[in-house]
A and B are shown apart, each in its own frame.
Chain A
């Protein structure tokens, strides 16, 4: 006998595990036990198999691996005695799941057990079948189960967990998700058979009852059950077998759906259940709940529905949280049936939103959301916003989202919408999603008569709240409409006048920049606002410049860059500043909404603006600049120049979209100005990849200098308001100072990549800005022999960490003695940039004097850092 397994009994093992003080101790005990069990399994020890499996189950529940014991289950099931089988089947259900192949091995034992003379063994097998059974097993065992239906003993019949019709049903769709499907079929039939048996127990079998009469039969059964005298065996809280009640009601629901006659037939009994059932205990409430659900689902009967809604109303005012929870749940369904009746309970539901229980709050909030309509939106929103002030932090997210969605859905008047949104932002701005405050800005920009009102309200709100998105909206509006803030423009009757000086307005933006809780996006937005204010309030210009200049050494590249650029705009270019920081054109609401719904392509504006893009590709295509400027895209990650501005959904791209169709209310000059602004914004928006930072400013300016042509027409456009020269001036002024690297590629020397007696190959390198991984190679082939080459073909291969793209060569004939050359462009992307340098294997094939020549070689002398 095994020296290990004889030691501990199950009880002792459990004690030992429970005595462990640390997880490590527990692991040690389990490891020792597992080792002993394995040893015992290896010896095929029959006496302790039973005990070993019990131990394994306990270990399994603690979460340790027990797969090595799976075969033991099968062995126990195959043994003759009841105790072994009992534990074996338990192990089978606990340690294995439907997916395991081992399960196939048990089919034969199951078959035998289903035919066993001992009813309890048959019961065990049926129970196992009901819990884990694959489609294959189902098919194999169907005949046995069917035979069992003839069994006399009701306990076995009750366990008729096996749908005898499964093989037929399975024929329909065995291939699909059989696991799910069998499970579903199973339970269907189990359920039906259980009902059948319950009905049988209550002596209510409908012999030969078909169709419509079925409802009658069930109604009669339910009636009997409801009116049955006290029966101690089935009594729960004074109700005889509530489980049976519930099942009968469920069945009636199925029969009554879409069947007016059946529904009619069950009206009386439903009314009786709804009125007579005691509702002071959970069991009674469970029945009422089911009854209400049935009343709601069957064909309409006004009286019954009123009764049902009243029951829910009673539930709603119950002190028990469970009952209130189900009431809210049911009212959500009832709202489709009778919205008016549910509205009557609005006040109570609103109270539930403020409950201390998260499950109830969540349900109630969803229900309130459904209850909102045009007539009650104002008071409901007010309630919810008031509650926002005091609600738990973890609930604020949900609540804010719902309020925003309600406000957006029912924004009848813009002033109301703006008011509510400002309240939400003030209370819970940190929970507001980006697109929500983006939408708010779009709305504000469209409500021209409310600009003054809004900016003043935001100014007030800013004094009391530090919520991030409120700050963002506030600095945006102050930047745009700062003059209205100071001059009390567009005063509404409802407002109290406030006195704000120009420097007060600047204070706000300064606070936003300096507050350490402000994130980088907020600060970037505040910078723009500053720039705008410097033009709106000339008196504060010096101060603004001082603030901005403090950030010229900021560690965040974007802020540093803005600081430098804006500083030079304020300092040197007074004359164009006002044109530069012109108020934003009205954002196109329809485009924005459409884009939010995902129906609009994100890059509407690309085509127009590319015309003024800087041709040598200063790191960014032009669709992005505004996004970039206001920084809604994530600029801290190095952007790939080819991506069209990353944040395709960002609303500020709309600004560019607006350029396409200048808003009709903007007379004459505006489009031109916008275009001008675009160019400049474009200029300012370059260079986010850190690698390039030092070059970016000079780079762009020099490049524009190189490309005066595309700018020139714009100068013409600008001329009525701002003379053309300043633009050039701005650029010139800069271009002089920094040492301008004329050519990015010049950083890398050309190499002779290959040279033989016949030909020479030169490589020139250049790097596209913003993408250090990519190298553009210009290959030049020269013929050193005295014969010309024809059918010239160049091939190249690179290792896996490189990607090579070959453009077509400039020709396939190479004249003799260096009297001409073939050029070909290559683009290599190095995924291991900085770690590995380029390497390339080449093959050059051509015909010389009609003879095939093949030259091969490897290029290892690429400059480092490509």
Chain B
């Protein structure tokens, strides 16, 4: 099933004009300015990435607590939200729906919470790769791909199980080898 069958050929062009990336990048910064997660959906060179992180942490970490969650920055809009000691930031275009992005951030945090069982910054430090895996199930190429927390949790659990099985196999094989060569 392709695009054409959903909206009709003549609308494809329109949609192409209309749509672009919802989210350009995702950043997780701690209150001390340490980076906990970065995900880039628009092309930024490594050098630009460091610059962006530096600039944004300067802007966002200094904002007061009761202010709105949006910062205008270089013609883009950065939506951020603080959860405990972590700032979750997502960058979108000027005219995107900021409230939706805020909701996506919250959605991600809830999934993390469910996965780690009341998540804290330490969980995300020591299991940063898990945070990435979950984000990859939630967003793809800057677009939301799954709106069900349950589905994401199920997919992650299935993949974790795969890893476990592989580990067990590896250890049992090495056991067998060890046994055999005793």
The chain A residues found within 8 Å of chain B, CB to CB, are 11, 14, 18, 54, 57-58, 61-63, 81-83, 86-87, 90, 93-94, 97-99, 118, 120, 123, 127, 130-131, 149, 155, 158-159, 161, 164-165, 179-180, 183-196, 198-200, 205-206, 209-211, 214, 233-234, 236, 241-244, 246, 250-251, 253-255, 257, 282-283, 285-286, 289-290, 293, 321-326, 329, 356-360, 362
Contacts and interface: CB of A to CB of B under 8 A. Distances in A.
Contacts of A253: 18
Contacts of B74: none
A360 B42 CA distance: 27
A61 B148 contact: no
Tell me which of A127, A179, A241 has the highest count of chain B C-beta atoms within 10 A of its own C-beta. Answer: A127
B68 A357 contact: yes
Contacts of A233: 148-151
Contacts of A161: 140-141
A83 B167 contact: yes
Contacts of A123: 155
A608 B97 CA distance: 60
A57 B8 contact: no
Contacts of B107: 236, 243
A322 B1 CA distance: 39
Contact of B3 (A90, A127, A158, A189): A189
Given A120-B162, A188-B20, A99 B45 contact: yes
A179 B46 CA distance: 15
A90 B133 contact: yes
Contacts of A81: 166
Contacts, number: 220
A97 B42 CA distance: 10
A243 B100 contact: yes
A339 B82 CA distance: 36
Contact of B162 (A63, A82, A254): A82
Nearest to B167: A83
B182 interface: no
Nearest to B9: A210
Given A194-B145, A359-B68, A188 B100 contact: no
Given A234-B147, A359-B70, A14 B140 contact: no
A242 B163 CA distance: 33
Tell me which of B3, B7, B151, B159 has the highest count of chain A C-beta atoms within 10 A of its own C-beta. Answer: B7
A57 B43 contact: no
Contact of A325 (B36, B98, B143): B98
Interface stretch (B84-92, B111-119, B122-130): B122-130
Given A283-B103, A326-B98, A359 B72 contact: yes
Interface residues of B, number: 76
Contact of B7 (A118, A192, A241): A192
A165 B133 CA distance: 28
Interface in B17-75: 18-22, 34-46, 49-50, 64, 66-72
State the 10 A-B residue pairs at the shortest beta-carbon distance, nearest first: A286-B99, A321-B68, A130-B141, A192-B3, A357-B67, A243-B147, A83-B163, A325-B68, A286-B100, A130-B140
Given A196-B2, A255-B7, 15 more contacts: A11-B126, A62-B34, A90-B132, A90-B136, A94-B132, A120-B158, A127-B136, A155-B151, A184-B21, A192-B19, A198-B147, A211-B8, A246-B100, A289-B100, A326-B99
Given A61-B36, A243-B100, A251 B141 contact: no
B103 A131 contact: no
B180 interface: no
Interface of B: 1-3, 5-8, 10-12, 14-16, 18-22, 34-46, 49-50, 64, 66-72, 97-100, 102-104, 106-107, 125-126, 128-129, 132-133, 136, 140-151, 155, 158-159, 162-163, 166-167
A61 B2 contact: no
Contacts of B145: 158-159, 190, 194
A116 to B, nearest CB: 12
A90 B18 CA distance: 30
A192 B43 contact: no
Nearest to A232: B150
A191 B35 contact: no
Contact of B43 (A98, A254, A322): A98
A242 B103 contact: yes
B45 A97 contact: yes
Contact of A324 (B68, B100, B136): B68
A159 B140 contact: yes
A200 B162 CA distance: 28
Contact of B140 (A86, A190, A246): A190
Contact of B42 (A149, A183, A293): A183
Nearest to A18: B125
A205 B125 CA distance: 43
Contacts of A289: 97, 99-100
A286 B6 contact: no
Given A192-B7, A359-B70, A322 B102 contact: yes
Contact of A97 (B43, B69, B151): B43
Contact of A206 (B6, B146, B158): B6
Given A63-B50, A82-B162, A362-B72, A190 B143 contact: yes
Contacts of B20: 183-184, 187-188
Contacts of A358: 67
Nearest to B170: A81
Contact of A188 (B19, B71, B149): B19
28 contacts: A61-B35, A61-B36, A82-B159, A90-B129, A93-B136, A158-B145, A164-B2, A165-B3, A183-B21, A186-B141, A187-B141, A188-B16, A189-B3, A191-B143, A243-B103, A243-B144, A250-B18, A251-B7, A251-B15, A253-B18, A282-B103, A282-B106, A322-B99, A325-B68, A325-B98, A329-B98, A359-B67, A360-B67
A254 B68 CA distance: 29
A159 B138 CA distance: 11
Contacts of B142: 187
Nearest to A118: B162
B132 to A, nearest CB: 5
A214 B3 contact: no
A326 B101 CA distance: 12
A285 B99 contact: yes
Given A82-B162, A94-B132, A194-B143, A360 B2 contact: no
B77 to A, nearest CB: 9
A199 B125 CA distance: 37
B102 A286 contact: yes
Contact of A255 (B1, B11, B22, B149): B11
A253 B18 CA distance: 9
Given A61-B128, A190-B141, A234 B3 contact: no
Contacts of B126: 11, 14
A246 B15 CA distance: 15
A342 B163 CA distance: 58
A54 B11 contact: no
Contacts of B18: 250, 253-254
B103 to A, nearest CB: 5
Contact of B97 (A209, A236, A246): A246
A383 B143 CA distance: 43
Nearest to A87: B129
B43 A131 contact: no
